[in-house]
Copies of this chain bind each other. A is one copy, B any other.
Amino acid sequence: MNTIGTLYRFTGFGESHGAAIGGVIDGMPAGVKIDLDRVQAELARRRPGQSAITTQRRESDTVEILSGMLDGVTTGCPIGFMIRNENQRSNDYGQLGEAFRPNHADYTYTAKYGLRDHRGGGRSSARETATRVVAGAFARQALEHFGIKITAYTSQVGPISLDADYKTLDLSLIESSPTRCPDPVKAEQMEQLILQVKGEGDTIGGIVTCVINSVPAGLGEPFEGRLGAKLAAAMMSINATKGFDYGTGFNGVGLRGSEAIDRFIPGQAYPAHTMANHSGGIQGGISNGEDIYFRVVFKPVATLMQDIETIDSEGRPVVLKARGRHDPCVVPRAVPIVEAMAAMVIFDALLINRAARI
């Protein structure tokens, strides 16, 4: 299914070598003033060719809004939008023919649909994430009405890990490095590693950490609607993701219950606050008013600048020659995508929560 959300719903379309990608934002409340320059600026953060450590493909990724707005304000009606594909007839993929690239969706899509889009990754390509950035940018501007802020950054590239608590970091530095790591020393190391990996025709993965400030207590629903589940689903729907955790997550597996306690600060109950935030802002599936923070793992890009042995659609061995222009590491460009998905989830939860009480 190519739709995400219950009240704030985004339906995306488009593949890497078709005419356009785009989507429909449905359920955006009326009366939200949208700064389209800021939407475009979010796309620029995701765009290929933005720095020496990303792919050198260039696409302007200009979004055209087709409906749902009047004089810069949302009308309550669905917002259709489109981004033209500029490289839709690239020859870089011509060789692909019938070979299945390892770790791509070539084989799985063919097995599923019974046919092959020989032009490239098609719908499985990360190209579609540009449409998520647009839908998230709208949600983000709506969330600002409620003072909610979403900030993601690169916290790991290969073995180089920024272990510091996000509260000790200067998050204003995120955009100072092409890596989107806010620690200048780690950022420099990550950048050098990515350039080295690129020089070797290889790729590397990493981790994006995301922090959401000022979420009111009460967002999220029981069972399927637990906020952690909704965030996990949204993040794991992004291409190349392999894992998600929030709060103490995988790293906290050694903690005792007595160590993981988030004691309440006495004084008042609504809102109450806790001394620690091991819970990552979510308790019993519902936001508790503390910062929500979580991590998303991205695998190394599957396309290498090396010759790769694989098979074709008859199962015969073939060698794929290194071609094209690809990212040595997707993590820096994934940062705005993670923010976009988080914005959609939180805004949807906020709207749903309006029905929690009579």
Contact = CB atoms under 8 A, between A and B. Distances in A.
Interface in A245-265: 245-250, 252-265
A355 B29 contact: yes
Contacts of A75: 15, 113, 115, 117, 122-123
A209 B68 CA distance: 33
Q: Which of A252, A287, A289, A308 has the most CB of B within 10 A?
A: A252
A105 B286 contact: yes
Interface in A167-219: 197, 202-207, 217-219
Contacts of A100: 264, 269, 272
Interface in A58-82: 64-68, 70, 73-80, 82
Nearest to A272: B107
A139 to B, nearest CB: 12
14 contacts: A3-B223, A12-B223, A29-B356, A30-B112, A103-B279, A108-B220, A111-B270, A112-B220, A124-B286, A205-B253, A232-B235, A239-B285, A260-B299, A352-B355
Contacts of A64: 19
Contacts of A112: 30, 76, 217-220, 286, 353, 356
Contacts of A288: 107-108, 111
Interface residues of A, number: 162
B224 A1 contact: yes
| 5 nearest CB pairs, A to B | A105-B284, A243-B245, A13-B80, A203-B257, A233-B233
A357 B114 contact: yes
A323 interface: no
A148 interface: no
A315 B269 contact: yes
B243 A357 contact: no
B309 A269 contact: no
Interface stretch (A20-28, A35-43, A44-52, A89-97): A20-28
Given A2-B221, A223-B237, 8 more contacts: A1-B221, A70-B119, A103-B278, A108-B283, A113-B357, A204-B257, A243-B250, A245-B245
B115 A73 contact: yes
A11 interface: yes
A309 B257 contact: no
Contacts of A74: 358
Contacts of A286: 105, 108-109, 111-112, 124
B254 A245 contact: no
B2 A13 contact: no
Contacts of A282: 108
Given A68-B18, A204-B257, A285 B105 contact: yes
Contact of A123 (B31, B121, B222, B260): B222
Contacts of A70: 115, 117, 119
A21 B66 CA distance: 7
B264 A310 contact: yes
A9 B1 contact: yes
Interface string A293-321: 00001011111101011111111110000
Nearest to A328: B257
A228 B253 contact: no
B78 A108 contact: no
A259 B197 CA distance: 12
A242 interface: yes
